[in-house]
Structure 1
Amino acid sequence: MGTYKSAKTLLYALQPQFSQVAFPGMTSQLFHELAKKHARKLPDVRPGYTVRVHETIREGEKDRVQIFEGLVISVHNGHTPTDASFTVRRIASGVGVEKVFPLLSPMIDRIEVKKVAKIRRAKLFFLRGRAGKAARLSERFTTSEEFGVAVAAPEVKTEEVAAAVEEVKAEK
């Protein structure tokens, strides 16, 4: 078959085989199972939010966290919840940089909402043609719930949990 980057691309490659199965909703069931398996709490990301995305970058053998801070200019929900993504834009050294993040990516450690702007559009692509003060958005009053920090729950192995439980029992 070959190597696939994710289970999703593998499912797309196998889709003709799934269509011959007697269960017509099999692929969507598999997508939902994958989504449940990798589910974690993330803040509600909307256009107009200024966010800091903490992304794990792998360089050779080392992993490091890179922070990308900018304005969310679009949110794409996709056909299934696993397809959701958002685009963040910032100005770096006088050049506009946009990065698309899949919402359920395991490479995203956390997303911090810094500011919330008052907007009337779902897509803020018009900001691409603006520079300096013309690209500013007016801030709106927000509640404390909107400023959320979502941290991806680290995977915990059952052996680690069992060892921790036994340590606590030994202390008592």
Structure 2
Amino acid sequence: MDIIKEIEAEINPKKELPEFNAGDTIAVSYKIKEGNKERIQQFTGVVLQRRGNGSTETFTIRKMSGNIGVERIIPVNSPFIEEIKVLKRGKVRRARIFYLRERTGKAARIKERKFFKK
């Protein structure tokens, strides 16, 4: 099994991304190709889950566009990710927060995790 992991590491070098988990609000700068043009689009939302490991690791991000919830599954090692910014750290107890899908308005808010300097 170590041989597979070594070959995988050579093919897909790990990107330097900030640490984020379920419940965090992040902004993903994503490259989009339209014909021969290329532009960068921001996708800002709450992380619902992170799953997988190594080259198959993905995360699901959800945002509200008007009254419609939009979810996107993005591979961590995608070459189209320009950068990821963590905007808020969420205080949740679960690794997968799919219960957020049924909630609307104030019930869909996530408390922010506070950090204190020592």
- Per the TM alignment, residue 40 of structure 1 is displaced from its structure 2 partner at its CA by 2.5
- Per the TM alignment, residue 31 of structure 1 is displaced from its structure 2 partner at its CA by 1.1
Structure 1 vs Structure 2 CA RMSD: 1.7
Match of 1:128 in 2: 101
- Per the TM alignment, residue 28 of structure 1 is displaced from its structure 2 partner at its CA by 3.4
Match of 2:26 in 1: 51
1:35 is the counterpart of 2:12: yes
- Per the TM alignment, residue 42 of structure 1 is displaced from its structure 2 partner at its CA by 0.5
One-letter identity of the residue aligned with 2:72: K
The SS at the match of 1:28 is helix
CA distance in 1, matches of 2:116, 2:19: 13
1:66 is the counterpart of 2:41: yes
CA distance in 2, matches of 1:109, 1:128: 27
Mapped contact 1:54–1:109 kept (Cα < 8 A): yes
Unaligned 5+ runs, structure 2 = none
Mapped contact 1:46–1:72 kept (Cα < 8 A): yes
Q: Which of 106, 109, 124 is the matching residue for 2:79?
A: 106
What number of residue pairs does the alignment pair up? 117
Q: Which of structures 1 and 2 has the larger relative contact order (alpha carbons within 8 angstroms, sep 6+)?
A: 2
- Per the TM alignment, residue 41 of structure 1 is displaced from its structure 2 partner at its CA by 1.0
Q: Please report the TM-score for the alignment, with normalisation by the length of structure 2.
A: 0.91
- Per the TM alignment, residue 143 of structure 1 is displaced from its structure 2 partner at its CA by 6.2
One-letter identity of the residue aligned with 1:29: E
The SS at the match of 2:12 is helix
